[in-house]
Amino acid sequence: MPENTAKDLSKYRFERAEQMLKASKIAYAEQDWVTANNRAYYCFFHAMRSVLTLDNTDFKRHSAVISCFNQRYVATDLFDRSYGAKFANAFTVRNHSDYDDFYLFSTEETIALIQDAEQFLEDVRVFLAKKGVF
Q: What is the pLDDT of residues 48-94, one digit of tens each?
A: 999 999 999 999 899 999 999 999 999 999 999 999 999 999 999 99
How many domains would you assign to the chain? 1
Q: Percent of the chain, pLDDT > 90? A: 81
- CATH code of 8's domain: 1.20.120.330
Domain that holds residue 104: 3-130
Q: How many helices (H) and strands (E) does the chain have?
A: 5, 0
